Homo-oligomer: A and B are copies of this chain.
Amino acid sequence: MRMVYAPMSTYHHGNLRRALVDAALEILIAEGATALSLRAVARRAGVSQAAPYHHFTDRDELMAAVAEAGFRLLLMRLERVTESKSPNPRRAMQDYAVAYVNFAVEFPAYYRLMFGQRLAERSPYPELRSSVRELRRVFATAVEALQMRGLARRGDPDELALTSWSLIHGIAMLLIDGQMREELGDTSDAERLVREQTALMLHGMVYTSAMSPPPGMAAKRPVRAD
């Protein structure tokens, strides 16, 4: 019974690395982070417990590869937002935030692992680092679009991009930790919450030096809202 695309056959000559990452992902999503041992990954990939060491120097390196796959998937989701080419840069930033948070809610264990890994500049995992760089670039581009329309203060877009990422990451974390259950009527409210919080930040982005309140913003002046 020969197969045209013989997908299994590729696994056992040279593709074990990929098979291990896939196995790790399956365990992570199906059984959670607790079950994610190197030995369990090897078992699921159908190899001996020592086999992974021919493709990864240690457990951490495999985990970094898994995290990197997570960043790639997340980046794909965000790319779809880019492709929708929203003419409204504020709406675009909101869409990025929603796509980002949805990913975290869909794969909480995965998202946690991604941020459990050290993402430091001096990290010994160059692929992980470059994925993170790409992620930051998405937010930076969104900020540049805001700046071009006069919707964000001038200056280094990376700085505002980092603020965006900080907020969105924080929302994702607290959401998957159940900290927003009070604010959430049903689960579909999550998107509204993300849009509101992001928009709050978008309004703040207009102002130049954030150190002191800008002229028109004195404490005595009442807020026009209600």
Interface residues of A (CB under 8 A from B): 88, 90, 112, 115-116, 118-123, 132, 136, 149-154, 156, 158-160, 162-163, 165-171, 173-174, 177-183, 195-214, 217, 219-226
Contacts and interface: CB of A to CB of B under 8 A. Distances in A.
Given A163-B167, A166-B167, A183-B162, A178 B225 contact: no
Contact of A219 (B149, B174, B177, B210): B149
Given A119-B179, A173-B169, A174-B162, A211 B223 contact: no
A173 B115 contact: yes
A67 B160 CA distance: 31
Contacts of A197: 162-163, 166, 210
A167 B167 contact: yes
B158 A165 contact: no
A196 B167 contact: no
B132 A179 contact: yes
A193 to B, nearest CB: 8
Given A162-B174, A170-B169, A195-B210, A150 B220 contact: yes
Contact of A121 (B181, B205, B219): B181
B210 A196 contact: yes
A132 B150 CA distance: 39
Contact of A223 (B90, B116, B154, B174): B154
15 contacts: A90-B213, A121-B179, A132-B179, A150-B223, A151-B219, A151-B223, A153-B223, A163-B171, A167-B201, A169-B174, A196-B210, A197-B210, A199-B210, A200-B210, A202-B210
A152 B226 CA distance: 10
Contact of A225 (B154, B168, B196): B154
Given A156-B183, A166-B197, 5 more contacts: A90-B213, A122-B178, A162-B197, A203-B210, A208-B225
